[in-house]
Amino acid sequence: MILFDYMQKYDYEQLVLCQDKNSGLKAIIAIHDTTLGPALGGTRMWTYDSEEEAIVDALRLARGMTYKNAAAGLDLGGGKTVIIGDPKKDKSEEMFRAFGRFIQGLNGRYITAEDVGTTVEDMDLIHRETLYVTGISPAFGSSGNPSPVTAYGVYRGMKAAAKEAFGDDSLKGKIVAVQGVGNVAYHLCKHLHEEGAKLIVTDINQENMNRAIHDFGAEAVNPDKIYEVDCDIFAPCALGAIINDETIGLLKCKVVAGAANNQLKEERHGDILDQKGIVYAPDYVINSGGVINVADELLGYNRERAMKKVEGIYDKILKVFEIAKRDGIPSCKAADRMAEERIESVRRSRSMFLHDQRSLLNSR
């Protein structure tokens, strides 16, 4: 892989490799775009097959955060970290503290939070070394685990997508097929169950699946069968790239709306969903509740204010559909347009001269 070519292609600002022999830390911080503000994005801990795979993941996820934060209306750019390692075996206090010091060294250009494989406890360790971390414990007056809030945002966005597909946003009696019932989807299922939706779930983790069956009377299917079940709404809440050439022809749903990042394997799969008449709620818009919540910490966390913004995901999703209709494009492209237009307009408005510390006027 030719790194600078790839970075130029998608206009990345910075890629940082962090190594600490003492703790075994191997982290990659990718900063995509800071036009709107400091890059905020979570830290993923995962056992990658190769260093290249880890770097590509960090870069891809960082760019996704630029779009997510822009679409969410936050004054934040996009970045992400991946730590190479097994979250079940390789974590230690010294590893997260070393990582915290690397973040501090970036002097606020990057702010972290939770992602797959990291927890509130890990963020608290990072916090011992840097202020540039969010999603830390409520004991510090912070927002804690973002997953329940992400779930609420997905629920709101799913209702908006239902309105678009069925003319009514009620989920009562709707059959929702949920792929992966982990941290986010458990709470999503709770909202859906309370509204009277019928749940079909799958997970490779039997314990998580049993919890959904027991708590919400969900029906269970094998992981490879979830795409083809008869349902109104398919909610991908596990992995990325699950809308692909193999799965897209199997879908019987009218709506795809779920928490997973990077659901479309390639952009063209968004076009195909559109051609098939399936309403797609773009992943980074519908799952932005977590980042909206942690970002509120930067203002001095206020749960009520954060939840109000998360509720607004309903209108954001409707706005995406409106742009899609206005411009005759699929919803995934409409979401990109909405995010890109915001970044560009802020870039333009910031071109006005402001006297800062490095201004020539300082020598007067």
Ligand X SMILES: CC(C)C[C@H](N)C(=O)O
Ligand Y SMILES: NC(=O)c1ccc[n+]([C@@H]2O[C@H](COP(=O)([O-])OP(=O)(O)OC[C@H]3O[C@@H](n4cnc5c(N)ncnc54)[C@H](O)[C@@H]3O)[C@@H](O)[C@H]2O)c1
Q: What are phi and psi of 202, to 5 degrees?
A: -145, 155
Site string for ligand Y, 179-208 (x = CB under 6 A): xxxxxxx----------------xxxx--x
- Looking at 6-14, 24-32, 50-58, 285-293, which segment touches ligand X (CB under 6 A)? 285-293
DSSP class of residue 139 equals: G
For residue 146, the one-letter residue type is P
- Residue 183's binding partner, choosing from ligand X, ligand Y, none, with beta-carbon cut-off 5 to 8 A by kind? ligand Y
CB of 336 to ligand Y, least distance (A): 18
Which residue's structure tokens are 């991908």? 236
Q: Using CB under 6 A, which residues numbered 290 to 349 contact ligand X?
A: 290-291, 294
Query: Among residues 43 and 130, whose Cβ is nearest to ligand Y?
Result: 43
Tell me the C-alpha to C-alpha distance, in Å, between residue 101 and each of 55, 80, 107: 20, 16, 10
* Type of residue at 317: I
Backbone phi, then psi, for 199, in 5-degree steps? Answer: -110, 135
Angle, CA of 115, 226 and 50, to the nearest 5°: 40
Is 80 one of the annotated active-site residues of the chain? yes
The span of 112-120, 154-162, 206-214, 269-277 binding ligand X (CB under 6 A) equals 112-120
CA-to-CA separations, 266 to 131, 170, 276, in angstroms, rounded: 36, 31, 16
Length of the chain: 364
For residues 212 and 202, the answer to whether their CB atoms sit within 8 Å is no
Among 39, 113, 199, 226, the residue binding ligand X under the rule CB under 6 A is 113
Q: Does 153 bind ligand X (CB under 6 A)?
A: no
Q: Quote the least distance from Cβ 325 to ligand X, whole Å.
A: 27
Evaluate whether 61 touches 281 at the Cβ level (below 8 Å): no
Site string for ligand Y, 208-247 (x = CB under 6 A): x--------------x-------------xxx--------
> Could you tell me if 118 and 92 are in contact, meaning their C-beta atoms sit under 8 angstroms apart?
no
Among 57, 115, 164, 336, binds ligand X (CB under 6 A): 115
Give whichever of 168 and 266 is closer to ligand Y, judged by the CB atom: 266
Query: Dihedrals φ, ψ of 69, to 5°?
Result: -65, -35
Instruction: Output 18 or 306, the one with its CB closest to ligand X.
Output: 306
Structure tokens that stand for 149 in this block: 């809030």
In what helix (H) or strand (E) does residue 45 lie, and over which residues does it extend? strand 43-46
Given 26, 68, 80, 174, which residue is catalytic? 80
Name the helix (H) or strand (E) containing 284.
helix 283-286
Residues in contact with ligand Y by the rule CB under 6 A:
116, 146-147, 150, 179-185, 202-205, 208, 223, 237-239, 259-261, 287, 290
* Catalytic residue numbers, as ranges: 80
Binding residues for NAD(+): 180-185
Residues lying near ligand X in the complex (CB under 6 A) are found at: 41-42, 68, 113-115, 135, 146, 261, 287, 290-291, 294
